[in-house]
Amino acid sequence: MCGLVGIFGGKGDPTERQEIVRRMAGTLVHRGPDGEGYEFTEGCDFGFRRLAIIDVAADSPPYANEDRSIWSMANAEIYNSAEIVPMLEAKGHHLRTHVDTEVIPHLYEEFGVDLVDHLNGMFAFCV
């Protein structure tokens, strides 16, 4: 089971917030021993611990859309991701991995909060 952490709308020193997020993610290493990922943006700092099941060699989340304006991370198994990918590619999206959860930021870009109507699986995610 993967682990997600983050600070939304944090104030104060960005370096301190980044260190807090890294420490928070460190407490979840038992949930995601296969990798870690971080993204620090204006207004949102988040981290991820990955339990790799699909595309084990892929980089750890968070995953972004092409212009890096939308980010997501998830503890999920998206059963129908193989069906979603061709639809996204037909709309001009380019996914970097074969990880099932990489579809989430692209679906959000296309459908907003209605993206969940396109998912079949078990999931908890943030965008």
Active-site annotation, residues: 2
Beta-bridge partners for 41 = 44
Give the contacts of 31 (CB within 8 A, at least 6 positions apart): 1, 2, 3, 49, 51
Please state whether beta strands 35-41 and 71-78 pair in parallel, antiparallel, or not at all (unpaired): unpaired
